[in-house]
Structure 1
Amino acid sequence: MAKLRYRTLRENVVDEIRMKILNREYEPGMRIVEQNLSDELGVSRGPIREALRQLEQEGLVEYVRNVGCSVKQVTLEDIYEIYLLRATYEQVAVRTYEGQLSDEDLAQMESIVEEMKIFGEDDLGDLVDCDCRFHQVIVEKAGLNRLLKAWTELNYGNIVCYFAGNSDRKEAANRQHDIHERLLNVFRSKDEETICNAISEHYMKTVKRLIKEGSMSDESFKYKV
């Protein structure tokens, strides 16, 4: 039996606040008061403060001088930047092994895609977890620790973008399986250039959709996608 890892109070507090943000119990822009959280979670303000600092690094909350801490409001530019970086990191990984994933790697990705089928509109957290695990296979294969670390640091930013960019939860749930199945089929081709192009399209398609829908209008957005 695998040993259970001891979890610190700070880690538990981080998880609790993070899930409240991702489940929209704490809406974007909502001010977070340490004392209120301390009362709500039944812990002292020390672990609360440490947890909020970590969540700031993850891009889930932000501190504004003379205002305090609040849930970060995601902009179209945030989504573009995070998706651009993730696509770039994954393309770098693919080029190190020339797109040649093993049968075992492909089987692992296929298992994750199949897992996506069972989740619906009330399971977006599980779908995002599947998404992260699917793409992690792509990066881990390269065996580059710094690349994996840089990619992993964007994980929660990716989650925030996912929730911000999918207001229609049912449509988002239905879409996840299909788009990852298509990406998996591209990886089966083992063609490096085709795979790299598909990765870029996979991420930028969301940005293009948001621009087309006008659901996150941003007049300052100046990038070509």
Structure 2
Amino acid sequence: MKCSVITLALGLCIATPWTKAADSPKVADFSGVWTTTATIDEFDSRNARLTVSKKEGKWKAIMVNEEGERTDLTRVVPTEKGLTVEFDMERDGQQAIIGAKAQLGKEGELKGEWYAKDGDGFELMKNKWVAVRSIKEDIAGSWNVTAKTDNGDMEHAMVMKKEGNRFSGYASSSEGDADFSNLKLEKNTLSMQVPYGGGIVKIKSKLIAKGQLKGKWTFFDEFDQEVATGEWIAKKKAKKS
């Protein structure tokens, strides 16, 4: 029974910044694709892909583990600060409840615990569970960027493209376009650089919410000396219907 529970309890619960629906309590908006990591013990952990959506007023979630096995999560209960998700399973005549609880961290990450209970609700095991938004699923599209400097905000557009498994992008302003180089996407992190003013601007940010990036920019001159740095924020433009 123990192995069955561990195998399935790989990524089941998340929480995100709340949005308010009319005449409804504040609840988390956690739609999107997430990369989850469930700690099994001090030597082992399991990753999974978690896709969350809301259809006809009902939240749904699908988990796919490292072996490609899919589990439909049937109980998805959001609150303002977190979410509890559970599903029932039966193995060799034994009933079990697999679930998790997590809350939103300062940088958009989700931290909590996965757990397994028997059919009577007695807890069999639990351990750490973490989820971050998958930036590869959200990055393609047009973004509005604000780079904060000592002389005020600098604003421009950012366009990111996905062709197969390859990603590319460029910054666009009234001064023209500039391609990004050294573009790297890993879990919820985006890093890249772009030429500017005879030097290079290096950017590193995290996907802190759906369609929201936050990080910092750093300008290096032609001698690779750091000259200035500041906050970097990007918000994704809504698709035209």
Interval of TM-score (by shorter of Structure 1 and Structure 2) = under 0.3
Identify, as 1 or 2, the structure richer in strand.
2
TM-score using structure 2 length = 0.23
Q: Which has the higher contact order (CA 8 A, sep 6+)?
A: 1
TM-score using structure 1 length = 0.24
Identify, as 1 or 2, the structure richer in helix.
1
Greater Rg over alpha carbons, structure = 2
